[in-house]
Structure 1
Amino acid sequence: MQNTNPTVFIVDDEPLLTTMLTDYLKEQYVGFNLRTFPTGESCLKHLHENPDIVILDYYLNSKEKDAANGIDILKEIKHRNKNLPVIMLSSQKSYGTASKTIMYGAVHYVIKGQDAFEEIFKLIKGNV
């Protein structure tokens, strides 16, 4: 990790998962500046804060039906800052879904599950 206090944006509409991931990352590395957002739109409003990396849920409109999905938010993030690393997080195990997110600029696609948090931590370390 080159940046000693990297800012990590976590975008997910599942509060329990967001809290668990935040707690896990704080436990692994005290220096993280963690910001959480329940929608992609709320994340986009704060991109001017220049996060070092974004963890973005693929399916963001399970709670708010009018919310944009992860692909749309990924496209907008990359439009605003093509160099900002984005890790997609999803319960979808489809190769097509994963390849689509990579095609639109995600650095990695992580499937929610037992080892997801550890994988995300390693990816953050490798990208910031």
Structure 2
Amino acid sequence: MKTDIRLIYIVDDEPLLTDMLCDYLSDLDDRLLIRPFATGEACLAAMNERPSLIILDYYLNSREKDAANGIDILRKIKDHNKTLPVVMLSSQKNYGTAARTIQYGAVHYVIKGQDAFAEIYELIKANV
């Protein structure tokens, strides 16, 4: 990983998971500036900050029922910047869901679980 600061967006509507992931990544690497968002719409509104990588939850409407889902947000992110790495995060263990996210431009699909945070950190190191 390069020595300069890297801005990482985490888009997930589960506050506890988001806080834990932010803390985990910040503790591992002080060169990461982590910015959390509860909705994809909020993430899209902040794209002018030019994040280095986005971690995007597949389901984003558990708290705000009208919030767009992760696939819709992924497509809009890729319309804005085709080369921006996006890692999809989900509790879905469905290979079809994973394949669709990759088809729309995600660099990887991480299933929420015991090793998810470590896997995300490795993907950040490999992609920024």
Aligned partners of 2:3 and 2:31 also within 8 Å: no
Structure 1, unaligned runs of 5 or more? none
- Structure 1 residue 115 corresponds to structure 2 residue 100: no
Tell me the CA shift for residue 2 of structure 1. 2.6
What is the count of residue pairs matched by the alignment? 128
Aligned counterparts of 2:73 and 2:7: Cα–Cα separation in 1: 18
Aligned to 1:6: 6
Aligned with 2:87: secondary structure?
A: strand
Shift >4 Å, 4+ stretches? none
Aligned to 1:57: 57
Q: CA RMSD in A?
A: 0.7
Tell me the CA shift for residue 3 of structure 1. 5.3
Q: C-alpha deviations, 1:70-111, integer Å up to 9, x for none?
A: 000000000000000000000000000000000000000000
TM-score normalised per structure 1: 0.98
Aligned counterparts of 1:3 and 1:26: Cα–Cα separation in 2: 15
Structure 2, unaligned runs of 5 or more? none
Aligned counterparts of 1:75 and 1:97: Cα–Cα separation in 2: 14
Partner amino acid, structure 2, of 1:91: S
Aligned counterparts of 2:66 and 2:3: Cα–Cα separation in 1: 36
Aligned counterparts of 1:16 and 1:70: Cα–Cα separation in 2: 18
Partner amino acid, structure 2, of 1:77: I
Aligned counterparts of 1:68 and 1:2: Cα–Cα separation in 2: 33
Partner amino acid, structure 1, of 2:119: E
Tell me the CA shift for residue 31 of structure 1. 1.3
Aligned counterparts of 1:61 and 1:78: Cα–Cα separation in 2: 20
